[in-house]
Amino acid sequence: MRTLRKRYYFWLIKAYIKRWKRTILTSLLVGFIISGCGILLLNFYILPSIDKKVQRIGVFGTYTPDKLPENIISDVSYGLTSVNEKGEVHPAAASRWEIKQNGKEYVFFLKKGLSFQNGDKLDAHTLPLTFKDAKKKVIDDYTVAYLLDSPYSPFLATVSKPILHEDFSGLGKYILKDIELNAGYVQSLVLQDKTDRLHRKILYFYPTQSALKTAYMLGEVDEISHVISPSLDDKNLAEWTNTKVEEDIDYTQLVTLFYNNADSNLSNKKYRQALNYALPEKFSEGERAFSPFPPNSIYFSHTPNFGISDIEIAKEVLQSSGVDKDNIIEITTTPDLEQTAKVIASEWKKAGIQSKITIIDEIHHLKPNFQALLYKYKLPIDPDQYTFWHSDQVNNIGKYKNLRIDKLLEDGRVETNADERVSIYSDFQKYLLDDVPASFLYFPMEYTITRK
């Protein structure tokens, strides 16, 4: 019985196919063509269009979630104020502010209608900005004050710190959608444009410049920025036909030669001046600097002793310093600045100054009794450089002491009038550059490498 039923269905299907053979074949052919077109459309139009909206970016450095670079967090949020590249402070989440009690009270008037990306509105009650040495006081829903123990004019720059909710929701264009950690350090994170769900930035973090450039070469990322050099081993990425390399000057960092002002020879001001005069007029690694302020800053000043590089003057000052010509200065630096150290040693030799170079892996390996330290340090967004040069500060690594400089630094961090601060820091530069506790060399060149 089962056999007869199977035969019946077999002959029924056979007859159906025979009758509708052309229709079935036509349908299969049309279906195949439509499927093929769909695959082509997906692979060559839809997916590339989506992929164009996904930026895969390589980032150099190791960071914890609470210490991400400012340029990344600025995509997620912004602060009460913002500081431009000239050092000028402008409104951001706050529409305006008032400074009271001789600089000990800062009152901020919040813009209305701002919301975190999680939907919570921003007001004086939900504002999460807190500071160790400032007491927050809510005046009304959109007015908040910070009370300081003592006047501190850099506070306006301090509150430019991006405002972030506990869940990392911010006020900016991008939402922090995902973050991947390894042993507490950020491996990757995803930033999504809140106005376009398809537009995303996927950032991958690499511990070394070599690893960063290798990731680009292997196609793991399509863009890398803040690159010290476009070359890796014998490969120059600038020569790749599908690669665009852009040069820029990083005015947030300054390569500096710090002198140990407590050293028996380097405590001699004329000797330090001779060393400074003997330095080259240019450095191929960046833009020549003669001041601790970038040239685009409103606080930058051309002092009378600015920008002098002259071997003959160096020889004359060296002779009048009384320091033995056979004295050998040890230049300590890290591997990335070894070439700069060699250039310095070569120029010093022309002036009759002997030197040797010592390479250390990390700055914390520096000996307390170093003589000259070649080091790249990050400049503050506010002109206040109290921690670097004031005589009682731990970060004053050159053990520099000058009561006039101390007073100018003290005045600069309590003066709230911008014009008065410009005048104070003009004097600061004049006397600092004359004293030469360090030689300011260059703002480093950096590269952004992008796949076309």
Which stretches does DSSP call E strand in 239-293?
243-249, 253-259, 286-288
The SS3 call for residue 420 is helix
How many H helices and E strands in the chain?
12, 20
Flag whether pLDDT at 132 surpasses 50: yes
- Give the largest Cα separation in the chain, rounded: 123
In angstroms, rounded to a whole number, what is the distance separating the alpha carbons of residues 445 and 442? 9
The SS3 call for residue 377 is strand
**Do the beta carbons of residue 158 and residue 106 sit within 8 Å?**
no
pLDDT band at 52 (very low <50, low <70, confident <90, very high): low
- For residue 21 the two structure tokens come to 């053979």
Residue 204 pLDDT: 98
Domains 78-158 and 253-443 share a fold: no
Residue 2 pLDDT: 54
* H helical segments located in 138-243: 155-158, 209-217
In angstroms, rounded to a whole number, what is the distance separating the alpha carbons of residues 71 and 381? 13
Flag whether pLDDT at 332 surpasses 70: yes
Q: What is the pLDDT of residues 7-35, one digit of tens each?
A: 555 565 666 566 666 776 676 676 666 66
Over range 97-112, report the average pLDDT: 96
Superfamily name with CATH number, domain 253-443: Dipeptide-binding Protein; Domain 3 (3.10.105.10)
In angstroms, rounded to a whole number, what is the distance separating the alpha carbons of residues 51 and 195? 17
The SS3 call for residue 135 is strand
Over range 246-263, report the average pLDDT: 96
Domain-by-domain residue ranges, the chain?
54-67+172-241, 78-158, 253-443
pLDDT band at 432 (very low <50, low <70, confident <90, very high): very high
Q: What percent of the chain has pLDDT over 90?
A: 77
pLDDT band at 43 (very low <50, low <70, confident <90, very high): very low
125 φ, ψ (degrees, to nearest 5): -80, -35
- 78-158 is classed CATH 3.90.76.10: yes
- Please state, rounded to an integer, the average pLDDT across all residues of the chain: 90
Residue 40 pLDDT: 47
**Do the beta carbons of residue 221 and residue 57 sit within 8 Å?**
yes
Flag whether pLDDT at 45 surpasses 50: no
Of 359 and 33, which is predicted with more confidence? 359
The SS3 call for residue 374 is strand
Flag whether pLDDT at 312 surpasses 60: yes
- For residue 159 the two structure tokens come to 């509150």
The four Cα atoms 410, 412, 417, 421 give a dihedral, to 10 degrees, of 150
pLDDT band at 6 (very low <50, low <70, confident <90, very high): low
Flag whether pLDDT at 233 surpasses 90: no
Sign of dihedral through CA atoms 102, 103, 105, 111?
positive
Distances (CA, A) of 226 to 230, 325, 444: 10, 41, 10
Q: Centre a 10 Å sphere on the Cβ of residue 312 and count the other Cβ atoms it contains.
A: 10
pLDDT band at 49 (very low <50, low <70, confident <90, very high): very low
Distances (CA, A) of 385 to 101, 114, 331, 425: 24, 34, 24, 10
Over range 368-381, report the average pLDDT: 94
Residue 47 pLDDT: 39
In angstroms, rounded to a whole number, what is the distance separating the alpha carbons of residues 75 and 65? 15
Residues of the chain by 3-state class (helix, strand, coil), percent to 5: 35, 30, 40
Of 147 and 29, which is predicted with more confidence? 147
Tell me which residue has tokens 């390479």.
359
Flag whether pLDDT at 36 surpasses 70: no
Q: Centre a 10 Å sphere on the Cβ of residue 190 and count the other Cβ atoms it contains.
A: 16
**Do the beta carbons of residue 99 and residue 153 sit within 8 Å?**
no
pTM reported for the whole predicted model: 0.84
Over range 47-68, report the average pLDDT: 79
Cα-only R_g, the chain: 31
The four Cα atoms 172, 174, 175, 177 give a dihedral, to 10 degrees, of -160
Tell me which residue has tokens 């692979």.
43
pLDDT band at 71 (very low <50, low <70, confident <90, very high): confident
In angstroms, rounded to a whole number, what is the distance separating the alpha carbons of residues 420 and 427? 11
Among 37-46, 276-285, 389-398, the least confident range: 37-46
Residue 207 pLDDT: 93
The four Cα atoms 301, 307, 313, 319 give a dihedral, to 10 degrees, of 70
